[in-house]
Amino acid sequence: MRLVLPAAGGNGALILKSGEIELARSGFSGAGETEVPLSFEPEESGYLDAVVVAQSSDGSEQELAVVLPILPPHQLLYLGDRQTDAAEKLASMLGRSFEVSTGETNDAGKLASALNRTDLVILDDQPAEQVSSVAEQQLVKAVQDDGLGLVMSGGRASFGGGGWHDRPIEGLLPIELVQKEEKRDPSTSLVIVIDTSGSMSGVRVQLAKEVSRLAMKRLLPHDKVGIVEFSGAKRWAA
């Protein structure tokens, strides 16, 4: 909890007590409005009757009776096998505000029981084939009807070719899980044969060259082109 003290000079301490037990203590100093944190680890959820004691450096004290709501830890269900000891790692990272457990996506009965006591589900890098259709429907219903939180994370197994496109879970997400295929136009190989004999001199050979240039402009970067010149005997010109 945090308390804001009005402008006051001097030093002192804030003490949080429950009965005769001191739960937390934090010092303050200086003039002006001051925010003072008081932290402690509750033993159980519920409502805690407590007293905040403002103790000044001159020995004077002021007390404020408070009732603190102690919320139970959030229940997090981890569904996945990408991380070894995932529950322990998540619990260590999130702290005492969460209790982390693991579950199976191919056992609808056990999953239904776990969802009834869960606040948040992490579906981590699971392909659609590893989640039974019944389990998927249970997840979707819990999110839509019961307010269950869902985090879907992962990589190629889920967001790549995981098979989630057009599945009920996809409708819950702000993205489309489509595996897009690369499109490439088929390559073209073009051979241009130009007659450079005497009968093609002048305007005729110029027209042949211009037509060749127009044809090559239609090609794509991955296409191939070759030019054959012949005048009695043929040879590659390019």
pLDDT tens across 60-80, in order? 888 989 998 888 889 999 998
All structural domains of the chain with their residue ranges: 2-70, 74-172, 189-236
Q: CATH for 2-70, among 3.40.50, 2.60.40, 2.40.160, 2.60.120?
A: 2.60.40
Q: What is the pLDDT confidence band of residue 115, given thresholds at 50, 70 and 90?
A: very high
- The Cα 139–Cα 128 span in angstroms is 13
Taking residue 80's Cβ as centre, other Cβ atoms within 10 Å add up to 19
The CATH number assigned to the domain with range 74-172 reads 3.40.50
Residue 218: enclosing H or E segment and its boundaries?
none
Q: What is the secondary structure of 85-146 as a DSSP string?
A: THHHHHHHHHGGGEEEEE--SS-HHHHHHHHTT-SEEEEES--GGGS-HHHHHHHHHHHHHH
Percent of the chain at pLDDT exceeding 70: 88
For 5-21, write each residue's pLDDT tens digit: 665 556 888 899 999 99
Q: What is the pLDDT of residues 30-64, one digit of tens each?
A: 666 778 888 888 888 888 999 999 888 888 888 98
The token duo for 131 is: 């989640």
Q: What are phi and psi of 101, to 5 degrees?
A: -135, 165
Q: Which amino acid would we find at residue 58?
A: D
**Could you tell me the pLDDT band of residue 185, with boundaries at 50, 70 and 90?**
low
pLDDT tens-digit map of 101-112 = 988 888 888 888
Confidence of residue 4 (pLDDT cuts 50, 70, 90): low
Angle at 209 between CA 206 and CA 215, to 5 degrees: 145
pLDDT band at 231 (very low <50, low <70, confident <90, very high): confident
Q: Using an 8 Å Cβ cutoff, are 26 and 14 in contact?
A: yes
Do residues 77 and 45 make contact, with C-beta atoms less than 8 angstroms apart? no
Query: Distance (Å, rounded) from C-alpha 36 to C-alpha 81?
Result: 42
CA–CA distance, 108 with 110 (Å, rounded to integer):
6
Q: Is the pTM of this model over 0.75?
A: no
